[in-house]
Chains A and B, each alone.
Chain A
Amino acid sequence: MMKSRFFIAACLLLLSVAAVFPADLKQRSVTVKETQVRDKPSYLGKVLGSLFYGDRVTILAQPAGAPQGWLKVAGPDNKLQGWVNASALTPTDIALKSGSETVSQTASSGDVALAGKGFNADVEAQYKKDQNLDYTWVDRMEGFQIDPQEVSLFLTQGGLTEPGGAQ
């Protein structure tokens, strides 16, 4: 009785999945240039490794009591497991051709963001030329990179709370 019910449910599931889902739904893509995988759901957590734009991760079971905004994931090939901030992930598949956000793509699907499609470095170069725009200070601005440990120290010395630091 149990076996037959299991069989019917499994068949129903397979049929429905084939009809509704285009891809693996426990997967997410990294949507920022680089993000860190940490041993705790906090920016204070030890960095275990990095993931890069377009990398696919698998969402693991979420331990009870985890703070808002963090997801436990496994990186490509399950090699890297830990916590990533949800703002660095998207359910959309990102089709990379060779690991760069500027490369052209051939795939096309509503569920796939084509990396390199649309406004990219080529468009910026053309726009910069057309408008005679100076990006010197925008590049310098991007150079203002503060080490996360310095940010942490700044907050601590000021008697402030690092968000997610309670974990």
Chain B
Amino acid sequence: MKAAYRFFLLTAILLALCSCSSLSPNSIVNTAIGWAQGNPSDVAKVQQVEQIVQAGSNAAQEITPPQEYYIGRAVAATVLTIYKPYDDQNANTYLNTLGSGLALASVLPETYKGYHFLIMDTDDINAFGAPSGFILVSRGLLRCAASEDEVAAILAHEIGHVSLKHGLKAISKARWTEAGVQLGKFAAQNSDYQVLRDLTSSFGNVIGDIVKTMVTSGYSRDLEKQADLEAVRILHDVGYDPQAMVRMLAAMKLRLKPGGQDFTKTHPDPEVRIAYVKDAIKAQTPVPAPSSALVKERQARFQAALSKI
């Protein structure tokens, strides 16, 4: 009874405050529920959890997960018109197993239909994290990796792009406006063939923006840094050596060719990335070094899957 009274009173006061504050109704009621139960920290946790999950979504408010999924599929299909898939079941299964484990440590462990990984058959040093978890990695990039920890660094960076919704952030503001209009029309009269055509045209423009950014112009330095730092955190939390990121970037630096149409063009210089990655690693608690037996185990499965890459 006392708890119920506290709940009513606090909610009423908080709601009154709501009209002149930026607090969301959700956060207010959750806070009131927590206080009524005498446990505000748990409710704060619910809010914190949701804020973390939604942190990457600000630029993508209009896009629901199923829509993000169809965008991701189209982006992947378009990238695969540029780079052919590498049809090696063993290697692709290894990448999917490793990548699925890493994705669990991301800020977005669950996408609409999950994370999927595919190797691209090219010497170019390239990788793409398409919306909703369609991740493509080139043979050229995988050849830079000398261990499982270094493959994990590659995948964790792409998972960073996906989980922080960087692909959707590549959609221009004008495109959002255009898509918004089309989406509204579609909701109102979705049986109209012309509306479907308009919406498809809008969809094509959205895909165009994302592919252009991923393949040609690259994300901003800030977004690349975000993906790198998220990768360092993921590696640490899963127990891989975060220094593997530094080793990968150093190997890439040696292999990237001036004037190349791959990471040379779309990513900041590896030296720049190495500097802030090292700073981020210094701020972490050290990951305990694995025993020689575990190193051997990881190396054996890495070799078994990717020795022919």
Contacts and interface: CB of A to CB of B under 8 A. Distances in A.
A52 B141 CA distance: 37
Nearest to B294: A159
A137 B85 contact: yes
Contact of A118 (B15, B43, B199): B199
Interface string B181-213: 011001100110000110110011011000000
A157 B299 CA distance: 12
Interface of B: 5, 8-9, 11-12, 15-16, 18-19, 25-26, 29-30, 33, 37, 39, 41-43, 45-46, 48-50, 52-53, 63-67, 70-71, 73-74, 76-78, 80-81, 85, 92-93, 96-98, 100-101, 104-105, 107-114, 116-118, 134, 148, 179, 182-183, 186-187, 190-191, 196-197, 199-200, 203-204, 206-207, 237-240, 290-291, 294, 297-298, 301
Contact of B199 (A9, A123, A138, A140): A123
B209 to A, nearest CB: 14
Given A13-B11, A32-B111, A145-B114, A61 B39 contact: yes
A151 to B, nearest CB: 5
Contacts of B291: 159
Contacts of A128: 77
Given A87-B108, A120-B70, A26 B50 contact: no
Most A CB atoms within 10 A — which of B30, B42, B77, B113?
B77
A105 B10 CA distance: 38
A31 to B, nearest CB: 5
Among the interface residues B37, B98, B107, B186, which one has the most CB atoms of the partner chain A within 10 A? B186
B94 to A, nearest CB: 9
25 contacts: A6-B8, A16-B16, A21-B25, A26-B29, A26-B30, A32-B110, A43-B104, A64-B41, A85-B110, A115-B66, A116-B190, A120-B70, A123-B196, A123-B200, A127-B204, A133-B74, A138-B76, A144-B93, A154-B97, A158-B148, A158-B298, A159-B290, A159-B297, A160-B239, A164-B104
B242 to A, nearest CB: 13
B49 A31 contact: no
A20 B49 contact: no
Interface size class of A (residues with CB under 8 A): 35 or more
Contact of B109 (A71, A135, A163): A163
Interface of A: 2, 5-6, 9-10, 12-13, 16-17, 20-21, 25-26, 31-33, 35, 43, 53, 59, 61-64, 66, 68-71, 85-89, 91, 94, 101, 104-105, 108, 113-124, 126-128, 130-131, 133-135, 137-138, 140-142, 144-146, 148, 150-151, 154-155, 157-164
Interface of B is mostly: helix
A115 B49 CA distance: 24
A101 B81 CA distance: 28
B186 to A, nearest CB: 6
Contacts of B148: 158
A27 to B, nearest CB: 10
B42 A63 contact: yes
Contact of B240 (A13, A16, A130, A160): A160
